[in-house]
Structure 1
Amino acid sequence: MKNVGEAPQEELATGERSTRNRVARSILDHGPSTVAELAGRLGLTQAAVRRHLDALVADDVVEPREQRVYGTRTRGRPAKVFALTDCGRDAFDQSYDKLAADALRWIAEQQGGEQAIAAFARARIAAQSGAYRAAVESVPAEQRAEALAKALSADGYAAAARSAPHPQQGEQLCQHHCPVAHVAEQFPQLCEAETEFFAELLGTHVQRLATIAHGDGVCTTFIPKTSKPAETSETASHEASKTMSKTHNASASTAGRNPA
């Protein structure tokens, strides 16, 4: 990883750059964050956090945004949050985005356009699905979103499961990092295939609310709460197949963008 927020030599000796990297890393792991949230997680004063954020903003590593609110908006002005820029994300990844995009573009041109990209995206997900499937199938239904989040985090997605704004309706799976965000911006089939896989894995229709590839701070997937009794494996397989078909038809209009 490149060091972000370069500082003058006299500051380096005091650990300024190391702390600045911690601030940026915390935003990567937890998503867009307020000054107070960063101070609490890192054990710093808010004044110190603001100083580091000022330097990171000047270096185009982070940028201030208005906090996005899902559900009912409370009174008062939303708190300002700080999110990683594209440059900031690149500081944590040695990216081969151009090579990947060029390869997908060649596949589209030579092998059948968007359908070929979609087939590749599904094959890519299938090839790495084993660990996710094992994690999800090893726990009760009500713990599956959390198990999936942990498995995604192990692969670098910095994921977490949390209650939706109306908990009785379901959960939100939040991925604070996406290694292929820049490529998915050009080829949304990657997001669509992931959404299909989540639906099949969790046994229910899911809805993608936001994606990093579309410019949001976090990839957010809504998972509705189900109250169905446990299914036999044959029934579950049949229902998963229907869910995959429904999700594929709807994903083009929902993946990679926020609801209106």
Structure 2
Amino acid sequence: MNQEADVPTRKILVTLLKTKGAQSVGELAKQLGITEMAVRRHLNTLERDNLIESRLVRQAMGRPTHLYSLAPAADELFPKKYQHLTLDLLEELEALAGQEKVDLLFERRKDRLIGRYEDRMAGKPLSERVTELADIQNSNGYMVNLESKEDGSFVLQEHNCPISQVANQYNHACTCELAMFRDLLGSAATVERTECLAKGGSKCSYVIQPAEE
């Protein structure tokens, strides 16, 4: 079996474990129509990637057998509609309590994030704070590119927005992100957003400059 064929086979294997629960090598081989040796090869790859786990089960007759099931990390392989749910909930809140309550929700989220990250900024010069900020956004899925300029300024670009569907409908999410950047970087810097994904840009781009003495 070539490498290109391996990927869809592993997808089918993972789907079987998702829909039918724990399975033995023999059971998987029958359903996939391949040899047990081939199944073990796929299972070894999935186990290496921490996507499946196995347990030894004793039987009334014969030798114990291994049953394979999905590990918690495999949950990320399946479609999620979190943003749709989030938008539905925000629309319900807006209908019940008004736009101001929705904005307040984003403000509270911003304050919570600042509280989570402010210790990482404490006592550091601006350049290290900017690097920390880029690392924070990268870890949250924003696909950040950070560029240092000769004049001491920085350009931070986000090529992905994990909350793009929410931000497209509720621009206050973008306002809060800019406010969070300014708060985390402190009075030593000025931060301006020059491009925004939610407003039709190809990325979110921020210019960070040292504040004038």
- 1:160 maps to 2:145: yes
Matched-pair contact (CA < 8 Å) for 1:118–1:193: no
Residue segments in structure 2 that go unaligned for 5+ positions in a row: 9-76
| Equivalent in 118, 121, 133 of residue 118 of structure 2 | 133
Matched-pair contact (CA < 8 Å) for 2:190–2:211: no
Aligned length: 145
Tell me which stretches of 4 or more aligned residues in structure 1 moved more than 3 Å.
Answer: none
Q: 1:220 to 1:170 in 2, by over 3 A?
A: same
Residue segments in structure 1 that go unaligned for 5+ positions in a row: 1-8, 17-90, 229-260
Q: CA deviation at 1:188?
A: 0.5
Q: Which amino acid aligns with 1:201?
A: L
Matched-pair contact (CA < 8 Å) for 2:190–2:210: no
**2:35 corresponding residue in structure 1:** none
Matched-pair contact (CA < 8 Å) for 2:114–2:183: no
TM-score with structure 1 setting the length: 0.48
Q: Write the distance in 1 (CA, Å) between the matches of 2:195 and 2:87.
A: 22
- 1:104 maps to 2:90: yes
Aligned-residue Cα RMSD (Å) equals 3.0
| Equivalent in 155, 158, 177 of residue 172 of structure 1 | 155
TM-score with structure 2 setting the length: 0.57
Matched-pair contact (CA < 8 Å) for 1:131–1:151: no
Q: Write the distance in 2 (CA, Å) between the matches of 1:128 and 1:110.
A: 26
CA deviations on 1:113-172 (whole Å, 9 max, x unpaired) are 2x22221111112222234212222521232111111122222222232135xx426211
**2:171 corresponding residue in structure 1:** 188
Q: Which amino acid aligns with 1:209?
A: T
| Equivalent in 1, 5, 10 of residue 13 of structure 1 | 5
Q: Which amino acid aligns with 2:5?
A: A
Q: CA deviation at 1:212?
A: 2.5
CA deviations on 1:209-228 (whole Å, 9 max, x unpaired) are 22222343322111122253
Q: 1:160 to 1:100 in 2, by over 3 A?
A: same
State the structure with bigger RCO (CA 8 A, min sep 6), 1 or 2: 1
**1:222 corresponding residue in structure 2:** 207
Q: CA deviation at 1:15?
A: 6.7
Q: CA deviation at 1:205?
A: 3.5
Q: Write the distance in 2 (CA, Å) between the matches of 1:92 and 1:210.
A: 32
| Equivalent in 76, 79, 103 of residue 118 of structure 1 | 103
Q: Which amino acid aligns with 1:125?
A: K
Q: 1:132 to 1:95 in 2, by over 3 A?
A: farther
Matched-pair contact (CA < 8 Å) for 1:184–1:190: yes
Q: Which amino acid aligns with 2:120?
A: A
**2:185 corresponding residue in structure 1:** 202
